[in-house]
Amino acid sequence: MEAQTANRPDDWPAGTKILVILAHPDDPEFFLGGSIARWCAEGHEVHYAILTDGSRGVSEAYPEPEALSKVRDAEQRAAADTLGVKTITWFGYSDGFLVPDLDVRRRVVRFIREMQPDIVVSCDPTNYYGSGPYLNHPDHRAAGQIVVDSIYPAVGNPSYFPELMEEGIMPHQVSELWLSLTANPNTELDVSTHWERRLEALECHSSQIGERVAFVERMQQRRIDLGDPDGRYIERFRRIIFRR
């Protein structure tokens, strides 16, 4: 993989609008919290769209899905505020049952056209496996598939969902698509200086992380296990730059 940290693949103009679309509350912070912290600190405008209600991340302390959904809403808002994210939009699909069908694709196309972001970020729909003995959640893959299929070919093409134009929602050209949680990265960001802010945001997700001290220890060990030889904290992406 070509190392791109030095030449700043995210050297965008100040105020670039970045839209992060993922499946669950806490996905943004786990998948790319350091990058989000970096982009907000550099004056970019970051927005979230969360596709599910997060209701099935249950535990002994949070056994009721409906009540948990409300808790996770508040947790995600606190985490987003910690990083400097501007807005969160909830699509409200049922956690665990997200499907990349035409109805949700139309909703996401509408949303992207309305938001008019420069950069869209999601996760790689082709990645079935996590690190170690973990499988990638089907909602993660579905969210990535929805976003990829929405961006190309629909968001910028007037022949897709023309009924949206009748409502005044016009096609929009996204400049770049970044896919996190990928097994085939072509771009990396050194976000070592934003590690602590990422941890602070993750700690807002109390219903999901368990005991805080043990969680931080796990995160620190994971950083060591997955880190690069220089001890940096790197977040990796599959980056697609669209022709103009």
**Distance from the Cα of residue 65 to its chain's centroid:** 22
Q: How confident is the model at residue 5 (pLDDT cuts 50, 70, 90)?
A: very low
- Tokens 């880190």 belong to which residue? 227
Contact status, residue 54 vs residue 140, Cβ threshold 8 Å? no
Greatest mean pLDDT among 67-71, 111-115, 217-221 lies in: 111-115
Q: Which helix (H) or strand (E) holds 236?
A: strand 234-241
The domains found in the chain, sorted by start residue, are 17-241 (3.40.50.10320)
pLDDT digits (tens, 9 = 90+) for 85-104: 999 999 999 999 999 999 99
pLDDT digits (tens, 9 = 90+) for 30-53: 999 999 999 999 999 999 999 999
Question: Which range is least confidently modeled, 33-47, 63-77, 176-190?
Answer: 63-77
Give the C-alpha separation, 105 to 149, whole Å: 7
The residue ranges of DSSP E strands in 3-126, in sequence order, are 17-22, 45-52, 87-93, 119-123
